[in-house]
Amino acid sequence: MGAQIKESDMSELFYESDMVRDNSLSQNEFVVSLAIAHLLGLITNFDSVKNSLVHAPEDVTLITPPDELADEGNASKRIAKALDLMITAYLLFDNDASGTIQTSEVLEQMRQNPTGPNSPRRLERVSSSLSSKAIRDERIKELDFDRDGTITFQEFVLTFQRWAGSDDDDE
């Protein structure tokens, strides 16, 4: 993957990505590992990531969109850009730069932009059956898997994937 990683670091990366602690990585947990490695600057080239997916086991079916077939050279850039977007979104909510997000930080960020295109008030108008508080509470529940009031980077990446529509994994 364009990276030289010590075995101890790889073990720690694997442990941090294995959210269900079953000693394996689902597709979504693998994306968590890529995001962590990218955040730490351990992966500099994503071409080999795409190539490893192309040579997936026989029981895995890969569907490549037509535009990707025509533009193989940008796959690495698209992967890096998607991971950068997840990291930027996470840092937006981590107001105190602690490395974790408190649910209060999510609420504060939502209060700071009450009328933006994705604001709770706008969502309330779109979905009259749910109040903005109910929508906020639902989003926080989705982010905070273990309901401890703290959203980890791993929880955020898994939720971000679901929101982006890439949760085809059967976790």
What confidence tens digit (pLDDT) does each residue in 83-106 have? 999 999 999 989 888 999 998 888
> Residue 22 belongs to what H/E stretch?
none
Determine the 3-state secondary structure of 101 from DSSP. strand
Task: Give the separation between CA 169 and CA 149, rounded to whole angstroms.
Answer: 26
What confidence tens digit (pLDDT) does each residue in 43-94 have? 877 765 555 554 444 554 444 454 544 455 587 888 888 899 999 999 998 9
- Residue for token pair 């997840």: 86
Residue 171: pLDDT band (50, 70, 90) is: very low
For residue 159, how many other CB atoms are within 10 A of its CB?
Answer: 20
Determine the 3-state secondary structure of 102 from DSSP. strand
Determine the 3-state secondary structure of 130 from DSSP. coil
The mean pLDDT value for 10-39 works out to 92
104 token code pair: 């209060």
25 DSSP assignment = -
What confidence tens digit (pLDDT) does each residue in 133-167 have? 788 888 889 999 889 999 999 999 999 888 887 55
87 token code pair: 């990291």
The mean pLDDT value for 114-139 works out to 63
